[in-house]
Amino acid sequence: MLPLLNERQRRLFLASEARALGDGGIAEVSKATGVSRPTIARGISELEQGQGQDVDPGHIRKPGAGRKRKR
């Protein structure tokens, strides 16, 4: 399922799985998927702040984020 998700969706999905596992969930999800612990922790933080509901399907990153265009 992970290859079908964009980076934000993947982060939120893994965060919800880690929260469902309880103590040690971040480590278990990280070990099983290869995604870094800080990424999963960031997803948990986003879920707790309610940032998961306002996902714009057309944009993954904030405007101006990412690599700059080559001139």
Q: What's residue 53's pLDDT?
A: 61
Instruction: Using a cut of 0.85, tell me whether the model's pTM lies above it.
Output: no
Q: Which of 10-19, 41-50, 55-64 has the lowest mean pLDDT?
A: 55-64
11 pLDDT more than 90: yes
Residues of the chain with pLDDT > 70, as a percent, come to 85
User: Whole-angstrom Cα distance, residue 6 to residue 15?
Assistant: 14
Question: Mean pLDDT across the chain, nearest whole number?
Answer: 86
Q: How confident is the model at residue 70 (pLDDT cuts 50, 70, 90)?
A: confident
Neighbouring residues of 26: CB distance < 8 A, sequence distance ≥ 6: 18, 37, 40, 41, 44
Domain ranges of the chain: 2-48
